[in-house]
Amino acid sequence: MREYVYDVFARKSRGDQLAHIGYVDALDDETARVYAWKTYDEENWFEMCVVRRSDIIPVNRDDGPFSRGREEGR
């Protein structure tokens, strides 16, 4: 069963910067939502979102984890 890496971003308050707080391996977007919410529940987040790592477009480097995710398609 193929899984994908989803990066998790969140902010504690409305005015905070959205911060990268971790990642989850998930089957699809729906399981990624649940895994992220259940895994990173140590804070009372104002907002949390996930994005499949392979959908992130690198801007200035091609050797970072996000670039590798894109190359590997996961």
Partner 1 sequence: MSDLTLLDVGKLDDATRSALRRLILTLADSKRLMGIRYSDWLLGSPSIETGIAASSMAQDEWGHARLLYAMLKDLGEDPVVVEHERPAKAYASVDPLDAPFPDWAAVVAGMTVVDVALAVALDACAHGCFEPATTRVPKMCAEEEFHRSLAFAWYRRLAASRSDEARGLLRAATEAMLPATLAWLGADDAAARALVDAGVTQSGAELSASFRDAVGDVLRTGSVDVDAMAPATAWDAARARGPGHPDEEAVERARGDRNRMLFVE
Q: Which chain residues interact with partner 1 by CB under 8 A?
A: 1, 3, 24-28, 30-31, 33-35, 37-39, 41
- Tokens 């499949």, residue located: 52
Q: Of 50 and 70, which CB lies nearer to partner 1 in the complex structure?
A: 50
Q: How far is the CB of 53 from partner 1 (least distance, A)?
A: 15
CB 57 within 8 A of CB 70: yes
For the CB of residue 25, give the shortest distance to partner 1 in the complex, in Å.
Answer: 6
Positive or negative, the Cα torsion across 50, 27, 5, 22?
positive
**What is the number of H-type helices and E-type strands within the chain?**
2, 3
CB of 48 to partner 1, least distance (A): 12
